[in-house]
Amino acid sequence: MPDPVTARSIAAKVLTESRKLKKFAGEIIEFYPQLTEKSRATDLVFGVIRNRGTIDLVIEKVSGRPIVHISAKLLNIIRVGLYELIYCPQSADHAIVHQAVEYAKQIAGTKGAGFVNAVLRKTQGHIVNRERKIEKADTRKAIPQTQQTGCEFNIEILPDRNSSPAAYLSIAFSLPDWLVESWLAEYGREQTTGICFASNRRPSVYLRPNLLKTTAENLSAKLRAGGIVCQIAPESQMIKLTHPGAISELPGFNEGLFVVQDLSASAPVGLLNPRQDCLILDLCAAPGTKTTQLAEATAGQAKIIATDIDAERLNMVRDNVARLNLADCVTVIDYHAVDAVFKQSGGFDCVLVDAPCSNTGVLARRPEVRHRISRQAVGEIAKVQQDLLSQAAGMLRRGGVLCYSTCSLQPEENRLLIKRFLENNPGFNLKMDSLILPSAGEFDHDGGYAAVLAGENG
């Protein structure tokens, strides 16, 4: 098969290989060295994955052929083309179709190229306006792009938004129907609609300055001097980047001046607010983002033990600790050595449990989750989380403080789980908790939950 040379052909190839090899698309795209094309291809790949359900619905309506009857390599060429036609109104439609047909010709011959051309051309014929104000469009015919605009067709694509809100949101945003229904029950229609838009956004990149070495103001000035467009997010020390490129090539990376972290992901450590004289355990530390934040929050004076059950990912913690020059206050240990440290120390003053979860608050950043998560899986994950919380509670000193966090929006993993824990552990009380819903606003962010629990006399 010829090597793909355009962002569009690379994207189609990555999508096909991802399914064939059963790997995340992000892992596969790293094999392509062309930086400019890779960056654009990455956007296309993740855009298709986030909107695959809606795109496939359009393919079936236009082609009259079920998705399962279309070869994967042709299907992904069409998906990339339709993603751009529907969600990228700034892209020239003639270039989209031409490159798709040429690549199809290379890998599937004239007949395959003819099919790709027919589906894309027919879709073009059904599109009335590639960027229509939603408020002026029939919502059954307009696929949402942003909260203000959508791609308007001359045929009905979506269910009626008012009479069938769950079906509309599920299909319009390529989300599992059970998940949308759970959000509607928990958060109502307005907030759920906002969650859906946030779940399909192109997430911004934020940097958390290493406050032991710099400030947000100084780091942003250094970045701007290096030609990086950035701005400090309001009411935070986080810096939002515009077109960041390769993170490892940013000014200040090698000096350990920052780590990449979403706005919502930085909230749990702030809520915990650990003291400088604490012995702290980060029980689920990989990749080390919150570990290093704990060190910064305690001015490098606390003693922090970091571990993770995934030994391979624990190396990422070591790398981050070394790059930020925090080895004096952070000790990374094997997961099976935690019990010995606990017994030797007599217990920890603080334990952070950033638990594995369903990731329903970070669907924009981890788009493949929407196609893999199930209601049953949420229940199974909640059992693991409950065990981790109980393990962490047993490692606290009398009067110690425990912070439990997830990047999930599901109450079974958050509020209800904490409620159950408190019922079974009367020696603990809830000091505070916080649920952040994802946002697609100017300073967009993921969603997540955190709760701070105090032991007896804590």
In tens, the pLDDT along 286-304 reads 999 999 999 999 999 999 9
Average of per-residue pLDDT across 167-178? 98
Q: Which domains does the chain have, with CATH numbers?
A: 7-158 (1.10.940.10), 264-454 (3.40.50.150)
Residue 33 has pLDDT above 90, yes or no: no
Residue 168 has pLDDT above 80, yes or no: yes
Q: What is the pLDDT of residues 392-429, one digit of tens each?
A: 999 999 999 999 999 999 999 999 999 999 999 999 99
Q: What is the pLDDT of residues 177-217, one digit of tens each?
A: 999 999 999 999 999 999 999 999 999 999 999 999 999 99
DSSP structure string for 208-264: EE-TTT--HHHHHHHHHHTT-EEEEPTTSS-EEEES---GGGSTTTTTT-EEE--TG
- Side chain identity at residue 110, one-letter code: T
Closest CA to 259 of 356, 354, 325: 325
Residue 3 has pLDDT above 70, yes or no: no
Q: What is the pLDDT of residues 108-138, one digit of tens each?
A: 999 999 999 999 999 999 999 999 999 999 9
pLDDT at residue number 312: 93
Six token digits for residue 372: 């893999």
pLDDT at residue number 2: 54
How would residue 34 be classed by pLDDT, with cut points 50, 70 and 90? Answer: low
Q: Look up the pTM and report it.
A: 0.94
Residue 279 has pLDDT above 80, yes or no: yes
Q: Which of 31-45, 208-222, 347-361 has the lowest mean pLDDT?
A: 31-45
Six token digits for residue 320: 């981050």
| Cβ atoms within 10 Å, residue 154 | 11
How would residue 251 be classed by pLDDT, with cut points 50, 70 and 90? Answer: very high
pLDDT at residue number 21: 78
**Secondary structure in 3-state letters for 115-171:** HHHHHHHHHHHHEEEEEEEHHHCCCCCEEECCCCEEEEECCCCCCCCCCCHHHHHHH
CA 70/CA 84 separation, integer angstroms: 20
How would residue 365 be classed by pLDDT, with cut points 50, 70 and 90? Answer: very high
How would residue 4 be classed by pLDDT, with cut points 50, 70 and 90? Answer: low
Q: What is the DSSP letter of 439?
A: B
When the pLDDT of each residue in the chain is averaged and rounded to a whole number, the result is 94
Residue 284 has pLDDT above 70, yes or no: yes
| Residues 285 and 291 sit within 8 Å (Cβ to Cβ) | yes
Which residues have C-beta within 8 Å of that of residue 339, sequence separation ≥ 6?
none
> Partners of 354 in the beta sheet?
405
pLDDT at residue number 207: 98
CA 198/CA 195 separation, integer angstroms: 5
CA 219/CA 225 separation, integer angstroms: 10
